[in-house]
Amino acid sequence: MRMIDPMLMEFDREASMTKKVIERVPQEKIAWRPHAKSMSIGGLAQHLATLPGWMGDTLLLDGYDVASAPKNPEPESVSQIVAKLDENVKKAKSAMAQLDDAKAMGEWKLSMAGKTLIALPRIGLLRSILLNHSCHHRGQLTVYLRLLDVPVPSLYGPSADENPFG
């Protein structure tokens, strides 16, 4: 078994939970934000949907310079965001499947205008960005849903709105 295989299985589970949360975003509130400094609910959902695609595009490279990152326009529909998530999950899984152990442990650098911000093994990048960073933002999105009185799906166990155990 390659070291990436358990992470691929974990990503599958996490991506399905992310999809459950994004599907709850109310279309009529897509531009809503809880605070002036916060992303809109649609923008946050879009960020979650694009992270796997960014990972798929950059994982096999030696790094990425954020100075070249395009700005995403505000999304127009929840269905568009869900479709983008599905597409990007496939892209990330394809890139991950190409990692042998040596490539997984190979160094990857995130830079800004040529200055290295972080350097870590690709498997560490997957853990910190594709999994942990995505879980962080998914948690934010569940708070947005709660503030809008939208039922929060069960993720790792019961929510106040859903109990898979009873």
Q: What is the DSSP string of 34-68?
A: SSTTSPPHHHHHHHHHHHHHHHHHHTTSSEEEGGG
**pLDDT tier at 71, thresholds 50, 70, 90:** confident
Output the pTM of the full model: 0.94
Q: What is the pLDDT of residues 14-50, one digit of tens each?
A: 999 999 999 999 999 999 999 999 999 999 999 999 9
**pLDDT tier at 72, thresholds 50, 70, 90:** confident
Q: Are 106 and 125 in contact (CB under 8 A)?
A: no
Q: Which domains does the chain show, CATH number per domain?
A: 5-147 (1.20.120.450)
pLDDT of residue 101: 97
Q: Are 129 and 51 in contact (CB under 8 A)?
A: yes
